[in-house]
Amino acid sequence: MEKLIREVRMLKIYAASLTIACILLFLSAFKSNNNHQRFEEIDVERINIVEKDGTLKMVISNKKRQHPGLLNNKPLKSREREAGLIFFNSLGDECGGLIYDSDEKGSGMVYSVDQRKTDQIMQLQYSEVTGADKKRAYGLKLWDRPHNFPLEIMIRFDDSLQKLNDPAAVKRAYTKLREEGKLGNERFFAGKAANGDVGLFIRDDKGRMRLKIYVDKNNQTHIENVDENGQLTRQ
């Protein structure tokens, strides 16, 4: 009789253990197959969007934790950047972003698209300065940037100049680069300028204003051709 009781007890323990094991196995399978989670609300300072292999593709962040940018999979020097979104391509380079902010001095918002291996070539932007000297501008802006002077070379060039500790030499060097077109030049703006003019403003490959088609703040229409020296040739 005692033997029978022991066997029954062992059978109960076995059955209970088996049941628990099955429940744990079921929960484990359910968890592994249900990777999608839903949140009604979440507070976070930064989110990194990555591929399965860990490649960084996008950062959504507040100002304090904003990413400094990447070049050849290496972080750029630490710098202050506004809150927003920063995009990264599969080469390990920053390739654009969206930043914004507003304070007692003014407001701004910029969506940028970067040329491969260099800086922005297109921006949709808004800026406003408050106070007595209130100004507001917004629109689409385009740049030309060279293919033979990528950001990597630009950074090395700037680092070597800063070591000279000679502001005059730095200014001369950058002036020469700009004349050679290596820093990139603004070519096009469509929108509202800070002086109130609304229209198209087109520059040549040296960044010089050459054509304006706009309506001024007094609702007067203008079509202006400008020569290389900034002189109006036809209106």
What sign results for the dihedral spanned by CA atoms 14, 15, 16, 20? positive
59 closest CA partner among 90, 94, 108, 100? 94
- Side chain identity at 32, as an amino acid letter? S
Mean pLDDT of 113-135: 93
The two three-digit tokens of residue 168, written as one number: 């005059």
The pLDDT value given to residue 87: 97
Q: How far apart are CA 145 and CA 120, in angstroms?
A: 9
Taking only the tens place, the pLDDT of each residue in 16-44 is 565 566 566 656 655 555 577 888 999 99
Please state which of the ranges 55-69, 98-112, 165-179 shows the lowest mean pLDDT: 165-179
Q: Which residue has the higher pLDDT, 4 or 26?
A: 26
116 closest CA partner among 135, 132, 100, 92? 92
The pLDDT value given to residue 102: 93
Predicted TM-score of the model (pTM): 0.78
Where do we find the tokens 């300028």? Answer: 193
Q: How far apart are CA 161 and CA 163, in angstroms?
A: 5
Q: Are 79 and 64 a contacting pair, CB within 8 Å?
A: no
Count of CB atoms within 10 A of residue 137's CB?
19
- Side chain identity at 197, as an amino acid letter? D
Q: How far apart are CA 52 and CA 101, in angstroms?
A: 32
Q: How far apart are CA 79 and CA 66, in angstroms?
A: 9
Reported confidence tier of residue 49, pLDDT bands at 50, 70, 90: very high
Taking only the tens place, the pLDDT of each residue in 160-175 is 888 888 888 889 988 8
229 closest CA partner among 212, 208, 202? 208
Q: Are 213 and 221 a contacting pair, CB within 8 Å?
A: no
The pLDDT value given to residue 12: 52
Q: Are 122 and 129 a contacting pair, CB within 8 Å?
A: no
Please state which of the ranges 5-14, 72-81, 197-206, 222-231 shows the lowest mean pLDDT: 5-14
Length of the chain: 235
211 closest CA partner among 184, 188, 179, 192? 188
**232 CB-side CA count, 13 A:** 6
Count of CB atoms within 10 A of residue 20's CB?
10
Q: How does DSSP classify residue 25?
A: H
